[in-house]
Amino acid sequence: MVILDGKKVSNDIKNEIADEVKKMKAKGEKVPHLAAIIVGNDGASLTYVASKVRACERVGFESTMVRLSNTTSEIELLDKIQDLNENPDIDGFIIQLPLPPQINTQKVLMAVNPDKDVDGFHPMNFGKMALDMSTFIPATPFGILELLDRYNVETKGKHTVVIGRSHIVGRPMSILMGRKGFPGNSTVTLTHSHTKNITQITSQADIIITALGHPNYLKAEMVKDDAVIIDVGITRVPDDNSPKGYIITGDVDFENVSKKASYITPVPGGVGPMTIAMLLKNTLLARERHMQ
């Protein structure tokens, strides 16, 4: 069994990006600039955005955090997005989700300039991805592809089962694993909350990608020997024995499933670190496109 070490691979990617930025600086070129809009005071969102800012510093990017209050109106947020769309200094920006209830998330994501949509959430970018055109791939699926690529995990002709159909992970992952090329060329089954006999389906899978947010959902009896397991789930589970009062748990019963798997991602330290690394990669791609 091989651990797909997202922490190590994400560090490798950040080092590669930092080298690219050094070359840009040496040529006197403008370095990539990533902005993030955060609305409200959600603790997890603030932590996540702060980690993105630190990652930008590490690779030599410029970064801007735009903090708005929880009472910000939809019109005010749309105005701020338009400012970033029109600012030539900003190469890419993200809107940290979730947004407060008074704001229509879909309307907001539609307002982002697709050329600056480094999260890959805009329908134009999603459509290009589905058509195998060059575009921004959502950061988490992009990170999973990169892990499979760097560990040379065979995907051609394999049966991939995706659990969860979110627009951020499950649905794009099902499209990407079925595309031509590597990683891809697999036969994909997309499962969700209404899927019947899910164990029958997962037990036939060569590759399982689970993005449910249900701790320890995937049990050993649901997995065949030598399957590849990608765990996107991340949930805080209360634990009195932990100094923090909780532990971070994925969708996979790691202790038991890992005994049967050929490759598996840990939680934490698997897919999570890859998401920020690939967001940086998308920002670098945006900068290169704008230069052209």
Specify binding-site residues: 164-166, 234
Q: How many CB atoms lie within 10 A of CB 242?
A: 11
Q: Which of 5, 96, 253, 281 is catalytic?
A: 96
107 is catalytic: no
Distances in Å between the Cα of 2 and the Cα atoms of 226, 264, 266 are 10, 6, 10
Q: Is 115 a catalytic residue?
A: no
Residue with tokens 């006197």: 28
Contacts from 23-30 at CB under 8 Å and sequence distance 24+?
Answer: 24/287, 25/60, 29/291, 30/89, 30/287
Cβ count near 238 (within 10 Å): 8
C-alpha 56/C-alpha 163 separation (Å) is 32
Known catalytic membership, residue 226: no
Catalytic-role residue among 5, 14, 52, 281:
52
Catalytic residue from among 5, 91, 117, 119: 119
Residues of the binding site for NADP(+): 164-166, 234
Nearest to 120 by CA among 130, 30, 55: 130
Catalytic residue annotation: 52, 96, 119
